[in-house]
Amino acid sequence: MEALNNHIDPTKLPRHIAIIMDGNGRWAKTHGKPRVFGHKNGVTAVREVTEICAELGIEYLTLYAFSTENWSRPPSEVGALMSLLVEAVRNELKTLNKNNIRLQAIGDLDKLPASSRKALLEGIEATRNNTRMTLVLALNYSSRWEIVQACRQIGQQIKEGHLNPEEVDEQLFSRFLSTKDIPDPELLIRTSGEQRISNYLLWQIAYAELYFTEVFWPDFKKENLIEAILDYQRRERRFGKTSEQLVTDVKF
């Protein structure tokens, strides 16, 4: 492990890693257990990955915990996921504070059950002054929802005369997204072998490196994260330029 860790170039770390934590249900199935058992074990992976990211010096970690589309799952599974959220936030609060990690959330939080929203907001409030890393939970999140609500707000601002249409550019638009204070992720990881984005951070991942692994989320451990970062560091991020131009470029 140490050996793997030592290969990471600390000057080329992504500032922000986003993860689509997928495969809890299939993981549970391989263990002959109900899906909820997979979600419970998924929380263990969240804890491990959060800690290692903080140790490595990653500034932002955004985890897709519940998509807007996930409401269409059986009510018992949705209920279990919401209870797990309350439980996890409450249980982890001490550790988050001990590790100086700030909790934040993106998504349509108003539509969460009152108890889940309450636990979440309490967690955000209790950790707001922490500075080592920001852990962002995407909850009832959908990228298209986020983009549409940004358009609505911008439209309203124009209507009220606070904004001219000419002023709307990429920078301004980003400020109306729920990620307004968060840099775009440089690395997006999806577990469980699925190779799709599932309505996650569509605007923000415009130039992210995508990393897909077959590993189910509850099995995703420190070494898997390090492997993803090493893979990221082997890639050449060109941002539209040619390889030759990058040699003289100072920016990674």
Residues that bind ligand IPE (CB under 6 A): 20-26, 64-67, 70, 81, 192, 194, 196, 198, 217
Distances (CA, A) of 87 to 73, 81, 117, 220: 20, 10, 12, 21
Distance CA 198, CA 131 (A): 30
Distance CA 86, CA 66 (A): 13
Nearer to Mg ion, 23 or 185 (CB): 23
The question of whether 70 is a catalytic residue gets the answer yes
Distance CA 123, CA 102 (A): 9
Catalytic residue among 5, 70, 97, 199: 70
Q: For the CB of residue 124, give the shortest distance to ligand IPE in the complex, in Å.
A: 19
21 binds, among ligand IPE, Mg ion, none (CB under 5 to 8 A by kind): ligand IPE
Name every residue whose Cβ is closer than 8 Å to that of residue 53 and which is 6 or more positions away in sequence.
Answer: 17, 61, 133, 225
Q: For the CB of residue 191, give the shortest distance to ligand IPE in the complex, in Å.
A: 8
Nearer to Mg ion, 134 or 143 (CB): 143
Q: How many CB atoms lie within 10 A of CB 108?
A: 15
Nearer to ligand IPE, 122 or 194 (CB): 194
Q: For the CB of residue 227, give the shortest distance to ligand IPE in the complex, in Å.
A: 20
The question of whether 22 is a catalytic residue gets the answer yes
Q: Token pair of 173, please? A: 């638009």
User: Applying CB under 5 A, does 92 fall inside the site for Mg ion?
Assistant: no
Residues forming the active site: 22, 70
